[in-house]
Each structure stands twice: as structure tokens, then as C-alpha cells.
Amino acid sequence: MISSVGQFLDLIADHDIDFWYRGVGDLNFKPSSQVEWRGLDKTKEDTVAYRFLRDYGKYSETESHNPWKVYALMQHHGLPTRLLDWSRSPLVALFFAVTQEPLSEKGHRAIWVLDPHSLNKLVTGLNLIYCPSQMGNRRVFNAHEVGNPDYIAEGGLLWSNFAKSDDETTDIESYSLDEYLPYPLFLLSPSNSLKSFTWEYPLAIEASSLDGRMDLQHSAFTIHGNNNEPLDTFLKRHNRSDILKCIHIVSLRQVSVTHHQKYA
């Protein structure tokens, strides 16, 4: 238990510089995307995306044909997406944790702490953080099949649980990140026509900055697939609770860590 911001910083001083943080006003706000916790089916999800795509020029000075920039703009305006906001700054996360309204007076504020590289390594076998809005070929390749790869591949749930893709450009298994997108945004890319598979697992991704607020908040995202379970539940199910920790805030001045997730 700590009683000052200084002690909070001491608690996280040994964290990897690449950890991401998410502050919540109530632990009942699970690490799930809006699409997940709202229980939107595909039709409703696609309808929201279509209506935003039709009208978003009213909210943006420049229209973009990059589907991932449009998707980040949807998130920016509070519409339900498969994106979940994180910050690289623990102080930004602490600010949101202590200023967000809890669901009840008995609600416990908290800060989720994510190791994004380990999350992606678990899913794809590579500890890379992708930035789809800046990628020309938005495909994730199976590095296990690459001779002398730049990055060593270890594990990865993805390659053992999806059918082989039909990418005609290579014999190496690959999967398009665009498959995460709702269909109206998926079709923004001229190379896309029909979806060929479904992403089930979450990934940590970067996004190009849309405005100064994203820069100030040191924004990052996880994007979530179709298994509709919170990130902590997904990781527990695969015995990788070490990838996501939770700092409980007892009051605005007192912060503690649950015993089973202690950092020390």
C-alpha cells in the first residue's frame, strides 16, 4: 500500500520502459473493447462503421482513405470499436484512474499494466508491435517458416489455430490485419474484397497520431478479435497472467497491488 504519487512511481520503477498502462475508475471496467462489452453483433458493428464512414468528413479536416486511420478516428470520437486505449505513461493512466467516475461508491479504482511485446509474442510468435496505419502490406507472416529471420520466432497461438491463408504472393503463412476491421472499413483498401478468416486473439498495435491529445496521452492500443472475452480472462485461460497486471487503488491517495499479481 502506498500513499503518494512518489510511492506509486517507486512501485513501477522496475517496469520495462515499453510497458503500457490503462487507468480505470472501477475494476468492473474490464480490459475489453466497446464492441465486446456492448455485445454488438456483426450487423450492428458494420452499421456503426458505415454511418461513420459516410459522415466522418464533418468531424475531420481531411478525409483519409487509410482504413486504420479512420478506425482510430472512430475510437477518438467514442464510437464502439475493437480498439482499447492504453498509455505509455503511468502518470496519464493514474490521472484517468482517479478522475473517472466509478460504477458505485464501493468501486475500486485500478491501473492495468500490460507487456505488449509479450502479448504479441504469445499470439504471433514475434514480439513486434505493428502499426497498421503506416504499413503498406498489412500482413502478419509466420516467422517460423522464414529462413534466417530478422526476429526469432518462439511459440505463437495464431499459427496453430488458423487455417492456412490464400496469399498468392508467398508460400509462407500470413494473415491480414485488415481482417480485424468492420467490413465497410475493410473495403476501403483496394486489395480487399471478401474476408477469408476471423481473428480470435488480441494484438498490441500502434497508431499514427491524429491530434495533439493522442501525443499528450502517449496513446497505444490493443485490438480485439471475436472471442469476446476481456484481456485478463484470455491471458488467464492461457496461463499467462504475467503479461497483464493490476494495481488496485484503495483511495485517491492510497494504492496497493493484489497479492496474486504483486510486482516485487
pTM of the model: 0.86
pLDDT 10s digits, 50-61: 999 888 777 666
Q: Residue 76 has what pLDDT?
A: 85
Q: Does residue 249 carry a pLDDT above 70?
A: yes
| Cα-trace Rg, the chain | 19
Q: Residue 260 has what pLDDT?
A: 37
Question: Strands 219-223, 203-205: parallel, antiparallel or unpaired by DSSP?
Answer: antiparallel
Q: Residue 15 has what pLDDT?
A: 72
pLDDT tier, 106 (very low <50, low <70, confident <90, very high otherwise): confident
Q: Residue 62 has what pLDDT?
A: 62
Residue with cell 499459427: 159
**DSSP-derived 3-state class of residue 143:** helix
Determine the average pLDDT of the residues in 74-86: 93
pLDDT 10s digits, 168-196: 555 778 899 999 999 999 999 988 999 98
Q: Residue 55 has what pLDDT?
A: 84
Q: Does residue 261 carry a pLDDT above 70?
A: no
pLDDT 10s digits, 205-245: 998 755 555 555 678 999 999 988 999 999 999 999 999 99
Q: Residue 142 has what pLDDT?
A: 84
For residue 126, give the nearest of 171, 78, 174 by alpha carbon: 174
Q: Residue 216 has what pLDDT?
A: 56
Decide which of 202 and 253 is more confident. Answer: 202
30-34, 96-100, 216-220, range with greatest mean pLDDT: 30-34
Phi, psi of 130 (to 5 degrees): -90, 150
CA dist 95 → 25, 32, 83, 89, 109 (Å): 10, 20, 20, 10, 11
CA dist 117 → 107, 190, 222 (Å): 30, 30, 11
